[in-house]
Amino acid sequence: MAKGYWVSVYPTITDPERLEVYNERAGLAVKAAGGRVLASIGGRVVAHEAGLAERVVLIEFDSFERAVAAYESPAYREALAELPDGFQRDFRIIEGLD
C-alpha cells in the first residue's frame, strides 16, 4: 500500500506566535493519526526555479487514506481554526509510489 504525505509550503508567516498554537494542536492531531514529521521548521531549503526558500513541512502517513482522514479529523479541524487571519500556505495531500 502506498504511503500518503502532507506537503506544506509557507510563503510568509506574519503571526508566528499564533502559528505556534496551530503547530501544537496540529502536532497532536498528526501524531494521533499515526503521522511522522519528516521535515519541518529549521530544516534547510535550497529552492530552484519558482520555488520559495521558505518553511516546508513534510509529514508521512502509512497510507494515502490515513493522510486524508487525518486532515478531515476533528482534532485537525480544531488546529486549522487556530491559523491566523489571512494566513497563506500551499498544502497538498499526495500519494506516494509503491
Residue 17 belongs to what H/E stretch?
helix 16-32
What confidence tens digit (pLDDT) does each residue in 20-38 have? 899 999 999 999 999 999 9
Contacts of 18 (CB under 8 A, 6+ apart): 82, 83, 84
CATH number of the domain enclosing 78:
3.30.70.100
Dihedral of CA 59/60/64/66: which sign? negative
Residue 66 belongs to what H/E stretch?
helix 64-72
Q: Structural domain tally of the chain?
A: 1
pLDDT grade for 67, boundaries at 50, 70 and 90? very high
What confidence tens digit (pLDDT) does each residue in 82-96 have? 888 778 888 999 999
What is the C-alpha separation between 9 and 3, in angstroms, rounded? 20
Residue type, 5: Y
